[in-house]
Amino acid sequence: MNNVTSIMIVGVGGQGTLLASRILGNMLVGQGYDVKVSEVHGMSQRGGSVVTYVKYGKKVYSPIIEKGEADIIISFELCEAARWVSYLKKGGKLIVNTQKIAPMPVITGAAKYPENVVHNLKATGCHVIALDALSLAEQAGTAKATNVVLMGAISTKMSFDETIWEQTIAELVPAKFLDINLKAYRLGRMLKVEE
């Protein structure tokens, strides 16, 4: 049987979702999996939505993830979690950074940022893991490492040795930022997340 695992990484342009998908994808390739990655950029350089599909298994035929198919969704921002939760399969996990980034309609006053997003996500019946990855990244040394904190969080939900994750981060992150990113990754792993 060819079991394929489907992971979506969703966020806002500038949050480092693409580096996160590269870390995840490269780590999985290093473990011998067939991996397909597809990125969708929606005005990402202007704070728009960015979505990456990562599928892995013995053989993967398409990188696309349809609604109700994702085993795991990692959301870098609250509203993005609400936007993409319909792609999560029954019994799947939704890892949510509780950071709020106001979309353009909220900035212009045309709309209000939704309230109680985590509560509403849980009310859909999905398994929600909410964490303040931004604060942990700042604790590590820079808010830019929020993406790597989230990689640390997801690593606890996957069965790969933490040293493999750290080796992959070392391969992809410039040497001058490596210590901060490894600290961010370890903080993500150690966090007692709200489930």
> What residues contact residue 189 under an 8 Å CB cut-off, 6+ apart?
152, 153, 155, 156, 162
For 41-90, give the secondary structure using H, E and C.
ECCHHHCCEEEEEEEEECCCCCCCCCCCCEEEEEECCHHHHHHHHHHEEE
pLDDT at 73: 97
> Could you tell me the pTM of the whole model?
0.91
CA dist., res. 61 & res. 179, Å (int): 37
Q: Right CATH number for 5-136 from 3.40.920.10, 3.10.20.30, 3.40.50.1980, 3.30.70.20?
A: 3.40.920.10
DSSP state of 182: H
pLDDT digit string, tens, across residues 148-183? 999 999 999 999 999 999 999 999 999 999 999 999
pLDDT at 46: 60
| Least-confidence region, from 38-42, 103-107, 154-158 | 38-42
